A and B are shown apart, each in its own frame.
Chain A
Amino acid sequence: MLLELKNIFKWVNSGGQRIFLLKDINLSVEEGEFISIMGPSGSGKSTLLNVIGMLDQFNEGEYYFFDESVHTLKEKHRSNLYKEYIGFVFQAYHLLDDLTVYENLEMPLLYKKYKGSERRAMVADMLDRFNIVGKKDLFPAQLSGGQQQLVGVARALIGKPKLILADEPTGNLNSRQGEEIMELFKQLNKEGVTIIQVTHSEKNAEYGSRIINLLDGRKV
């Protein structure tokens, strides 16, 4: 088992009332799965993804990742955990505007104690695999949205994560570009990467092996 959520609750207090963002979520994910989380706006999809990605805290419940109990871990260990095993893909790509494609890909490696030569090899490998060698010296603003997201996915993959978390990865793309990205995910999943994506689109959800529907923070 890759990860397991048990009775996860998350809430905020607003005007004396407790508003639940996540309500009693139970979820277990095996290695090699491709899960799509669906639901209307405000149903807690992104919150759930952030909790899984350990970027966000929850108020109650248990979370095991590779048998580590995340809910008892200190901040530092938690970040070590996601640093090592999880890659993120965002709807707005979140590439660093001041860095070239090459440098954007290299950036996560800087925080992982790789030697310079190793980094060069890994980045070259990734550029090759995604067919973007020719674009390595361009800045994000010089790329189309699809190309930017391609770099975003490549950046998420470069640290060889076990799990990719994608928050509406095709939300800012046209349908053709979106299809390409989804095909890429499918391919990656075949190669053994576990993927959890948040999506609005039924069509994109179909790429996954399992669909989780959320409504008002609750699994339906």
Chain B
Amino acid sequence: MIKNYIRVAFRSLLKHKLFSAINILGLSVSMATCLLIILLVYSQKQMDSFHKKHDRIVRIISEDESFSYASTPLPLGKTLSEDYPHLIEDAVQIKSSFVGGDVIYGENRIPLAGRYVDDSFFNVFDFNLLAGDAATALKAPFSIVLSKASAEKLFGETNALGKSVTLNDIGLNTMGIDIIPTENKETALGDFVVTGVTDNTLPSHIQFDFLVSMATLPSLVKQGKSDAAFNNWENYFDAYLYLLLKEGVSERDLEPILNDAASERYTRLEDVNITFAPEGLSQINLSRFHQNDISLRMPVEVIYVLSFLGLVVLFSACFNYVNLSFARSLTRSKEIGVRKTMGAARYQVFIQFILESILVGLLSLIIAIGLLQVLSGIFSGLWINKFLLLDFRFDIALFLVFILFSIIVGSMAGVLPASFLSSFSPIKTLRNAKGILLEKGKGLHLRKGLVVVQFCASLFFITTTLLIFSQLNYLMEKEYGFDHGNVINLKLQGVDYGTLASELSKNPSIQGISASSFVPGTGGYSGGILIKNRRSEGESALSSSFIAVDQNFIPNLKIALKAGTNFPSRMPKHSEEYVILNEAAAKLLGHAQPKGVVGETILIGEKQTPVKVIGLTANFIYDLLAEAGPSDPLVIRYLPNEFAYLNIRHAPTISAKSIIWFMEQKWKALDKVHSLKYDIYEEQLKGTNAIFADIMYILGFISFLTITISTLGLLGIAAFTAESKRKEISIRKVHGAKTKNITFLLSKGFLPLFIIAVLVTVPLSYFVNGLWLEEFAYKVNLSPWIFVLGIGIMFTTGFGTILFQTLSAANDNLLKRLKEE
């Protein structure tokens, strides 16, 4: 029976090529989007599943009123495992601070990043230890376990075990991000013995080039090379705690003891008030965003947003299916009547149509999997994913999920048409040889409703996309307030800036050299500082960001000086006497006329150091564009110890390449160890804004799909409307109707639907888009032109499609049609 149904379904699909093509095309592109999200979730879920005890491992997180943190205080692990041995089999802590820098073995000097971990690390986690003893590898102080890749870099083919390496720490991070600053000064941690080599290539949220035994820390503290404290309950940024639970113990069993542990420590404290919560290992990669997480991952919120977008597209495609099936019921009604007369029960007809739609779903899946290959490649190529742990692997289980998904989609699309079609009574369908007419009844209302919903979705996406494009465009064209052309930023990496600057200034093409603690506009940050003046006396201190720069910074980057002077060329070496403020900081201090702040003495920092304001700059953008606002205060300070970058301005006539070549030469003379790290400012800013491009890509893609799918749907509906009115068209033409009359007759039905959609969507889109736009300090106006343009685009594509169909129907050979009737 099923075989028969499938055969009939195939023939019917082949016979109605336009219908099938629209459905399969629409469903497959929308399914591909959803498959990508499934793949994303699945790969996140699969992460860390290689640990044999993965279902018993939980991570403990800290929560305060507003945030959750992936980290916990360092003493928590020991306390829990000692106090509750009946629940907890083992515990491992990973220090949250990075340890990393050059690892040196003989001639080889490789920058690597790692973590301090407890000796139980390999007992809890199953990273494959290629060499060394899991039980003892991380016990002794100054033990280091290298990843396979790091061991190969350092030792090549030779056996690493037992060899001694030197580790110079600059706090290099495992996340591969430049934005997180490394320290300027190297700390020579000493010699470490390689006690193991591990293969950590399986996907895990714990990333490292090497692991150092936690037992090393007390020795480092003694030598003054670390400030780690093992009994500080107030610092909940300190460590990531993973517990291995006893068999049969659930996360819920942990909750009371976690509550006890927290209330015991924090009820008496005023400024620290946190609670602890467990999080299963398989949940870690799919949980909500945590502060201070161990690795960068896609927070589940992003997956929600992507899923929502995917579902909108999917529903749009399903609507097409429903719509077209209803429209086509005209041509299927005879079949239904005959089948029922020959003894088919309603449920049998229903099953037949559901199977047909499932078949469409499965056919779409085949195309969708093909599209997925392309899509996942493009998605992985997005800028943001350079920093996320994505690991797309296909396996049988995933394919089963895909097939299940396509069956669900097929049934979802088919359930309404199938129940509608199977409800036809045979007598009505057969009495009229041409099939029953669908001019009235719930079918028609439903169809109209779905068309309206599609119009709404398209219009919403078009306007939102237009708005996002114009907002991002606005941000990208936004003047930073300084001149970033022809500037190369060089990372000092501990090299003395005075020496390097004087070496570089020997090149006449270099017009200016300045130093700063971070590069404005690239997401770098030196921290906040409390500021206070006489006006704000008594009130609590105000807070501002600060940047440390030298005397050349303001003229070199051509930042507008509104009043006062720049730092003098000879600055006092040891104490801080002068600062420069931006206008926002002056306003913050209560100067309605910012210029009035010049000459005033203000108090800065915890210690309330008095400093004199000698200058006032215009507000330039120092933060990331999306974060920045016109009222962000900034204190510009002269702090040579904080300098981390040189900003080198070269003559516009000279290519950046030749300057870089010159810089390489000078750099090699000063630092034989590290390689030169530089960025061309223009490109650096573009790179920083790459996230905007990502958002544009994703949204542009989604709205393109929605518009395409709903246009396809319209095409189908218009085709079938024309089809069902063939006789009417012919009669009208016989009586002298012109093509344009016919076209108007056929198209006018869509106009009210379009107007309803506009009336519903414009306010909705205005409201929703207003919400996110509010988050930006620099934003475009929600101009009505965006909506006019959106409606225009919709109108053109929609009615262009309808017109195309109806024109061809109106020009049809009329005699042929009448003869058939």
Residues of A within 8 A of B (CB): 46, 50, 53, 55-56, 76, 79, 82-83, 88, 90, 92, 94-96, 98-99, 103, 106-108, 110-112, 155, 159
A182 to B431, CA, bound (A): 23
Report A-chain residues with C-beta under 8 Å of the C-beta of B348: 110-111
Chain B residues with Cβ below 8 Å from A111 are: 339, 342-345, 348
In the complex, what's the smallest C-beta–C-beta distance from A198 to chain B, in angstroms? 13
Q: Is the CB of B343 within 8 A of A103?
A: no
Q: Which of B1-17 contact A (CB under 8 A)?
A: 1, 4, 7-8, 11-12, 15
Does B423 count as interface, using CB distance less than 8 angstroms? no
| Inter-subunit contact B345/A79 (CB<8 Å) | yes
Which residues from 404 to 445 on chain B have a C-beta closer than 8 Å to any C-beta of chain A? 425-427, 430-431, 433
B343–A94 contact, CB under 8 A?
A: no
- In the bound complex, do residue A94 and residue B337 qualify as a contact, i.e. CB atoms below 8 Å apart? yes
Closest to B340 in A: A79
B11 / chain A contacts, CB cutoff of 8 Å: 98-99
A107 touching B12 in the complex, CB below 8 Å, given contacts A90-B430, A94-B334: no
Q: Mark B138-174, 1 if CB is under 8 A from A, else 0.
A: 0000000000000000000000000000000000000
Given the contacts A50-B427, A103-B4, A106-B4, A88 and B341 also touching, CB distance less than 8 Å:
yes
A77 to B1, CA, bound (A): 22
Interface size on B, residues (CB 8 A): 25
Q: B12, B340, B431: which contacts A98 (Cβ < 8 A)? A: B12
* B577 adjacent to chain A (CB < 8 Å): no
B585 to chain A minimum Cβ distance, whole angstroms, is 78
Bound together, the chains give a CA A106 to CA B342 distance in angstroms of: 10
Query: What's the minimum C-beta distance from B113 to chain A, rounded to whole angstroms?
Result: 65
In the complex the two chains form, is B4's CB within 8 Å of A56's CB?
no
Chain A nearest Cβ from B731, distance in angstroms: 23
Q: For B342, give its contact among A76, A92, A103, A108 (CB under 8 Å).
A: A108
Q: Which of B8, B337, B341, B430 contacts A99 (CB 8 A)?
A: B8
In angstroms, Cα B426 to Cα A79, docked, is 11
With A and B bound together, what is the CA distance between A88 and B433 in angstroms? 16
- Distance A175 CA – B225 CA, assembled complex (angstroms): 111
Residues A94 and B427 in contact, CB atoms below 8 Å apart: no
B812 on interface, CB distance cutoff 8 Å: no
Residues of chain B with a CB closer than 8 A to A79's CB: 340, 343, 345
Given the complex of chains A and B, what is the CA–CA distance between A110 and B344 in angstroms?
8
Interface string of B174-218 (1 = CB under 8 A from A): 000000000000000000000000000000000000000000000
A94 x B430 contact (CB < 8 A): yes
- In the bound complex, residues from chain A placing their C-beta under 8 Å from that of B425 are 55
User: Which of A53, A90, A98, A159 contacts B15 (CB under 8 A)?
Assistant: A98
Least Cβ distance of A187 to chain B in Å? Answer: 22
B4 to A: closest C-beta gap in Å: 6
Segment 339-393 of B: residues with Cβ below 8 Å from A: 339-345, 348
Q: Residue on B with the closest CB to A103?
A: B4
| Contacts beyond the supplied A96-B339, A110-B1, A111-B344: 10 A-B pairs with Cβ under 8 Å | A50-B427, A53-B341, A88-B341, A94-B337, A96-B335, A98-B15, A99-B11, A106-B4, A107-B339, A112-B343
- Residues of chain B lying within 8 A (CB to CB) of residue A110: 1, 4, 344, 348
Closest to A159 in B: B343
A65: shortest Cβ distance to chain B, in Å?
16
Q: What's the least CB distance linking B309 to chain A, in Å? A: 38
What is the distance, in angstroms, from B18's C-beta to the closest C-beta of chain A? 17
Instruction: Answer whether residue B338 sits at the interface, using C-beta atoms and an 8 A cutoff.
Output: yes
Q: In the bound complex, what is the Cα–Cα distance between A55 and B428 (angstroms)?
A: 9
Check A108–B15 contact: CB distance below 8 A.
Answer: no
Smallest CB separation, B328 vs chain A (Å): 13
Complex CA distance for A112 and B425, rounded to whole angstroms: 19
Residues in A whose Cβ lies below 8 Å from that of B1: 110
| CB nearest to B433 among chain A residues | A92
Chain A neighbourhood of B338, CB < 8 A:
94-96
CA distance A82 to B426 in the complex (A): 13
Q: List 17 A-B contacts (CB under 8 A).
A: A55-B427, A79-B343, A83-B343, A94-B338, A96-B335, A98-B8, A98-B11, A98-B12, A98-B335, A99-B8, A99-B11, A106-B4, A107-B4, A107-B342, A110-B344, A111-B345, A159-B343
Tell me if A55 and B426 are in contact (CB < 8 A): yes
Bound Cα distance from A71 to B343, whole angstroms: 19
Query: Which A-chain residue is minimally distant from B9 (CB atoms)?
Result: A98
A53–B426 CA distance with the chains assembled, in angstroms:
11
Nearest 10 Cβ contacts at the A-B interface: A83-B343, A108-B342, A111-B343, A98-B11, A55-B427, A94-B338, A111-B344, A56-B427, A110-B1, A92-B433
Complex Cα distance A96/B15, Å? 13
Residues in B with CB closer than 8 Å to A56 are 427
- Chain B nearest Cβ from A159, distance in angstroms: 7
CB distance from B203 to the nearest CB of A (A): 49
Quick one: given A94-B430, A96-B335, are A55 and B8 in contact (CB under 8 Å)? Answer: no
Measured between C-beta atoms, what is the minimum distance from B437 to chain A in Å? 17
Distance (whole angstroms) from the CB of B331 to the closest CB of chain A? 10
Least CB distance from B506 to A in Å reads 86
Closest to A107 in B: B342
Alpha-carbon separation in the docked complex, A32 to B554 (Å):
112
Residues of chain A within 8 A of B343, CB atoms compared: 79, 82-83, 108, 111-112, 159
Residues on the A chain within 8 Å of B344, using CB: 110-111
Report the minimum CB–CB distance from B13 to chain A (whole Å): 10
Which single residue of chain B is at the shortest CB-CB distance from A76?
Answer: B345
Chain B positions within 8 Å of A95 at CB level? 338
Q: How distant is B332 from chain A, measured CB to nearest CB, in Å?
A: 10
Residues from chain B with Cβ under 8 Å of A103 in the complex: 4, 7-8
Give the interface centre of A55, A83, A108 by most chain B CB atoms within 10 Å: A55
Give the residue name and chain of the A residue nearest to B14 (CB): A98
Q: For A106, what are the chain B residues with a Cβ–Cβ distance below 8 Å?
A: 4
CA distance A88 to B343 in the complex (A): 10
A83 proximity list for chain B (CB < 8 A): 343
Closest to B334 in A: A94
How far, in whole Å, are A90 and B15 apart by their CA atoms in the complex?
25
In the assembled complex, which residues on chain B have CB atoms less than 8 Å from the CB atom of A76? Answer: 345
Q: Smallest CB–CB gap between B19 and chain A, Å?
A: 14
Distance between Cα atoms of A92 and B430 in the complex (Å): 9
Q: How far is the CA of A56 from the CA of B430 in the complex (A)?
A: 12
For residue B348, which residue of chain A has the nearest CB? A111
Measured between alpha carbons, how far is A83 from B342 in the docked complex, in Å? 7
Chain A residues with CB under 8 Å of B335's CB are 96, 98
Question: How many angstroms between the C-alpha atoms of A110 and B334 in the bound complex?
Answer: 18
Query: Which residues of the partner chain A approach B12 to less than 8 Å between Cβ atoms?
Result: 98
B342 contacts A155, CB within 8 Å? yes
Q: Which residues of B contact A155 (CB under 8 A)?
A: 342
- Min CB distance, A157 to chain B, in Å? 12
Q: Return chain A residues, CB-CB under 8 Å to B426.
A: 55
Chain A residues with CB under 8 Å of B430's CB are 55, 90, 94
Which chain A positions have C-beta within 8 A of B341? 53, 55, 88, 94
User: What A residues does B342 contact at CB under 8 A?
Assistant: 88, 107-108, 111, 155
Q: How far is the CB of A125 from chain B (nearest CB, A)?
A: 18
In the complex, chain B residues whose CB is within 8 Å of the CB of A53: 341
CA of A103 to CA of B5 in the docked complex: distance in angstroms?
A: 11
Complex: chain A residue closest to B339, CB-CB: A107
Instruction: Give Cα A13–Cα B339 distance, bound, in whole angstroms.
Output: 30
Residues of B within 8 A of A88 (CB): 341-342
A96 to B426, CA, bound (A): 14
Q: Which residue among B342, B348, B426, B427 has the maximum number of chain A CB atoms within 10 Å of its CB?
A: B342
Q: Which residue of B lies closest to A139 (CB)?
A: B11
Q: Which residue of A lies closest to B429 (CB)?
A: A94
